A and B are shown apart, each in its own frame.
Chain A
Amino acid sequence: MKGIALLFSLVAFTGAVLAETPEEKGLAIAVEADKRDQGWSDQATVMKMILRNSQGAESMREIRGKTLEVKGDGDKSLTIFDTPRDIKGTAFLSFTHALKADEQWLYLPALKRVKRISSSNKSGPFMGSEFAYEDISSQEVEKYKYKFIKDGEVNGLAAFIIERYPQYKKSGYTKMVTWLDKKMYQPLKIEFYDRKKSLLKTLTQHGYKQYLNKYWRPARMEMVNHQTGKSTTLLWVSYKFKNGFKSRDFDRNSLKRAR
């Protein structure tokens, strides 16, 4: 009985795949990727960001992050800067939303001031790096329109090649070409095209590991800006899931005592 039901649903599924347009297939893959990355509830991360200018001179930032998964909306996140030392204790609180403007606050420890800031700066650089705010913000299905292009591979790993078109306001991109790993449903490579439709940046993600037997996270990200010659490496030092965070850990009071 169970076998028949399974067979039936498999037939129905295959039928659906056959009738799909490239847009429908792209969306279906994005929905599947989103589904597979649900239920982690919260995570704490430690990362190092290495900024490289066109001459190769490097500078480093140490950053800690806490994220709370919010069902049916964008995530809440708290980002704390440890170095450079002059901005130590500066913290950034963000309530992300799919299409509505994000809510963001910045805490300036020298003045003890919590500042509500504009979230219009989606395409602006995060901490002087090659990552824009929109690159590091929570990825929601509704943020893009999708189009499946073809199958491909990155370093021998089979991937779906999908184009994504931002639907939220103030994006710096017209198109993002994404190589999504077929096994993990996580991006291996993303090419970003600017407002003039020329190639701006390439992001590659390396050293994926699985956490809680379900969630894949990269150990390293490399963002190269083809137009300026600058690049940024993000090293994820640690990921810790299910810390028991509550929304109380993501309010303006917690921002003031973030360390």
Chain B
Amino acid sequence: MNKFLILALFVCSTTLWANEWSGNVALEYIQFSKDALSTSQFKQYGSVSVQPEWFHEWDGGKQSFIFVPFSRWDQHDEKRTHLDIRELSWLKVFAESELRVGIRKVFWGVTESQHLVDVINQTDLVESLDGEEKLGQPMINYALIQDWGTLDFFVLPYFRERTFPGIDGRLRTGLVVDTDNPLYESDDEEKHIDYALRWSHSLGDWDIGLSHFNGTSRDPLFIVAIDGGGNLVLRPVYNLMQQTGLDLQATKDAWLWKLEVINRRLQDDNYMAATGGFEYTFYGILESSSDVGLVMEYLYDDRGNSATTPFADDLMLGLRWTINDENDTNVLFGVIADRDDSSRLYSIEASRRIGESWKLNLEARLFKGLNDSANLLYSLRQDDFVKLELAYYF
């Protein structure tokens, strides 16, 4: 009987369904250029991550299942050593709709410097400072696909807390965030059920999205507290919010015009924030196959200095160099300049494939002019770093 089962499973997995493993393993090294603010921190950090992916498709491609766990081990920071399920979901495709149930990642928006409209997934902050790495979000997502656009309904039954570096980690707040003791506005805490709705459509040169979110904000506020060990810590506070968002892109020849606007309503705060700008690409510069793109975005928050993000009145300038070679070599240089003080965030991101299966990534960030202790990034003033990552894809 057992043998029969094994045989049946084997037959299923090899013939009836297309299923496949893929993924990557990566070695990472971070070098900080300056001494740390705290004696518990280091100048060099080594780390290993693995992200396998199992995909399974049947019913002529109308149904599929995906499982993507992620794990990182960090040499020093025990909070950065973590495990997450990025995806564990089932998809069913109908003629005019799609149903997805499980843990997933969803991206909304068009701008490059920050992602105001994108509120479904929690940020995996220990992974990357730019907020582009996300934790898997449990959801039921039904997409209705019509001539007038796509209407996505989301039910989000479980809240994920943001990850923060531990006492031994860098790129953190002065006081460590006590992730063991979060506070919630909702009595249901992380079990509060959130809802979201989004309409998106493409009309000629225009791509438009309108969204609404009702639930626990992914962005915590902090209160100073004393933890069980008698240390001063920051306790994260997750409030309920309503957020309405608009994202818009006009694609006119080599120009991409982009805008994201949000209105966020919390118990004792109601504000508007926006990111707007353009990306212009010079194709085939100097008779080569290289492209150079210029990105310029303005970051606004109507709360000004009392904003809970560092980007209330900032200008982002970026330069994207795409070589279009067989190794997909590309470099992105960027600076975000605060128009209120002299603070500047410089960044370089570059990547290139080596052979068929390897990829080298480089990221460097410099924090300049962080002299004002009121600046939300003040605690990063010693944290200029270069990060090298070598990844193997299978």
Contact = CB atoms under 8 A, between A and B. Distances in A.
Interface string B265-283: 0000000000000000101
Contacts of A248: 95-96, 145
Given A172-B284, A251-B145, A117 B251 contact: yes
A116 B353 CA distance: 24
A248 B93 CA distance: 11
A89 to B, nearest CB: 8
A256 B324 CA distance: 24
A83 B394 CA distance: 10
B80 interface: no
Interface string B324-344: 111110000000000000000
A131 to B, nearest CB: 12
B373 interface: no
B326 A112 contact: no
Given A103-B202, A257-B93, A59 B326 contact: yes
Contact of A51 (B254, B326, B357): B326
B57 A259 contact: yes
A118 B256 contact: yes
A121 interface: yes
B187 interface: no
B98 interface: yes
A128 B326 CA distance: 5
Contacts, number: 99
A29 B291 CA distance: 37
A87 B150 contact: no
B150 A60 contact: no
A183 interface: no
Interface residues of B, number: 48
A119 B326 CA distance: 21
Contacts of A118: 251, 253-256, 281
A45 to B, nearest CB: 16
A120 interface: yes
Interface of A: 51, 53, 59-60, 83-88, 101, 103, 111-114, 116-121, 123-125, 128-129, 169-170, 172, 248, 251-253, 257, 259
A116 B284 contact: no
A253 B150 contact: yes
B91 A125 contact: no
A179 to B, nearest CB: 26
B324 A86 contact: no
Given A51-B326, A253-B98, 19 more contacts: A84-B357, A85-B22, A85-B24, A86-B328, A86-B359, A88-B22, A88-B393, A101-B205, A103-B251, A116-B207, A116-B249, A120-B281, A124-B291, A128-B325, A169-B253, A248-B95, A257-B91, A257-B93, A257-B98
A165 B369 CA distance: 55
A69 B226 CA distance: 67
Contacts of A84: 353, 356-357, 393
B115 to A, nearest CB: 10
Contacts of B24: 85-86
Nearest to A232: B326
Minimum-distance CB pairs A-B, first 4: A85-B393, A128-B326, A120-B254, A112-B107
Interface string B188-220: 000000000000101011010000000000000
A111 to B, nearest CB: 6
Nearest to B145: A253
A51 B251 CA distance: 31
Given A128-B326, A172-B284, A116 B356 contact: no
B105 interface: yes
Contacts of B353: 84, 86
A129 B200 CA distance: 34
B252 to A, nearest CB: 8
B20 to A, nearest CB: 9
B132 interface: yes
A87 B202 contact: no
Contacts of A117: 251, 256
B283 A124 contact: yes
Given A117-B251, A124-B291, A257-B93, A87 B328 contact: yes
Contacts of A169: 253
Nearest to B98: A253
